[in-house]
Amino acid sequence: MDTDPDKNWLRDKINENFLQLHRIDEVLYEGQTKYQSAKVFRSPLLGVCLVLDNKIQSTERDEFIYHEALVQPAMITHPGPETVFIAGGGEGATLREALRHKTVKRAVMVDIDDQVTALSKQYLPKHAGGAFEDIRAEVHHVDAREFLKKSKEKYDIIIIDLPDPIEEGPAAMLYTQEFFWIAREKLNIEGLIAVQAGSANPTELLNFTAVNKTLKSVFPVVTQCAVYMPCFGGPWGFCIASRKHNASMLTSYEVDGRIKDRGLTGLKFYDGETHRGMFSLPKYIREAIAAQTRIITDKKPLYLYKS
């Protein structure tokens, strides 16, 4: 390995005051897509890792935590999801989780960056687990907001699996109030939207709480949950919104019953007990959510920082 210490570590910028370091065993790919920088490297702790704009996006060893936490609570809360729309999710793991449900007849994944999908297929094939070849899957590499806006179809589940809103990145306009209104109009009456909402660390709550507040300006029912993500170095937040259904109200018995009834197999993180734990948020998060007044709009998007 190169003896230069800076080349042996990924410097993952959490914010202006905090860097997280990941040791690099081997760089498998490094380059620039049309939309963002991309790197794939092998970590002794986390296996093969995908990095976009110098931030860890997904890793071989712990991706199941993130993707099951993002997808399964909303899917399980819906009484019988048949159509799913995924914004982002280029690695294919979110698509994989949605397609676990035999009720799903069609899952549309729209990720603007085809090169990220290609890299994932080459270096992280287990992420998709065959989802790209599933006859129910439909994949497009265009702008997800424009695709959804022009779509004449309505969906039971919409999942927002995008990077954090970095100023030079492609995702910021998919966290705004205007986008969430588009999503609401494209959901069936029983539908739910699940959104990855960023860090749930006590020093890093702006994105989580502002996304939650923005969703509340559009949907009558919004709830929040969080899980610990090893590759992100702390707890990670998700929001689920709907016209009718509150995911946090499901009991562990109801969740386990629906998992059994739908024949879900292969889950490594999510079950009824986990569901209840995800929605049992600590006091500091609940207080920050209650205090937040920021609504993200097209004219005033939220940028966490410059890459």
Catalytic status, residue 161: yes
Catalytic residue chosen out of the listed positions 53, 113, 161, 164: 161
What single-letter amino acid sits at 263? G
d(CA 286, CA 74): 20
Map 82-131 to HEC letters. CEEEEEECCCCHHHHHHHCCCCCCEEEEECCCHHHHHHHHHHCHHHHCCH
Question: What are the CA-CA distances from residue 48 to residues 26, 68, 123 (Å)?
Answer: 9, 19, 7
Look at residues 144, 133, 137 and name the one whose alpha carbon lies nearest to residue 99. Answer: 137
Look at residues 111, 79, 114 and name the one whose alpha carbon lies nearest to residue 95. Answer: 111
Instruction: Tell which phi-psi region holds residue 117, choosing left (phi > 0), alpha (psi between -120 and 50) or beta.
Output: alpha
- In sequence order, what are the beta bridge partners of 29? 40
d(CA 104, CA 265): 15
Active centre residues (catalytic): 161
